Structure 1
Amino acid sequence: MPQDFVKIAQRGELMPGKMKRVDLDGRRILLANVDGSYYATDDTCTHEESSLSKGFLKGDTVKCPLHGSRFNLRTGQVLDDPAEENLRTYPVRLDGDDILICLT
Structure 2
Amino acid sequence: MCGRRISVADPPRSPGSRWTAICPVSRLIEQTFVRARIGGNDLILIWDGGRAIACERACPHEQADLSRGRLSKGRLFCPRHAASFDLDDGSITAGWPSRALRIYPVQIAEEQVWIDAEAVTSAAS
TM over 0.5: yes
The answer to whether residue 44 in structure 2 is matched with residue 30 in structure 1 is yes
- 2:110 matched residue in structure 1: 96
* Contact in 2 for aligned 1:28/1:42 (Cα 8 Å): yes
The answer to whether residue 92 in structure 2 is matched with residue 78 in structure 1 is yes
Letter in 2 for 1:45: C
Letter in 1 for 2:27: E
Letter in 1 for 2:23: A
The answer to whether residue 103 in structure 2 is matched with residue 65 in structure 1 is no
Counterparts of 2:34 and 2:95 in 1: how far apart (Å)?
23
* Superposition deviation, residue 29 in structure 1: 0.7
Counterparts of 1:17 and 1:62 in 2: how far apart (Å)?
15
Letter in 1 for 2:56: D
- 2:32 matched residue in structure 1: 18
The RMSD of aligned alpha carbons is: 2.0
Per the normalisation by structure 2, the TM-score is 0.73
* Contact in 2 for aligned 1:16/1:36 (Cα 8 Å): no
Letter in 2 for 1:37: R
Per the normalisation by structure 1, the TM-score is 0.86
Structure with the bigger percentage of strand: 1
Letter in 2 for 1:19: F
Highest CA radius of gyration, 1 or 2? 2
Aligned residues: 103
* Superposition deviation, residue 3 in structure 1: 6.6
* Superposition deviation, residue 19 in structure 1: 1.8
Counterparts of 2:21 and 2:105 in 1: how far apart (Å)?
12
Runs of 4+ with >2 A deviation: 80-83
Greater RCO structure (CA 8 Å; 6+ sep): 1
Distance 1:73 1:37, change over 3 A: same
Deviations 1:45-74 (A, max 9, x none): 011121111011113110000112100112
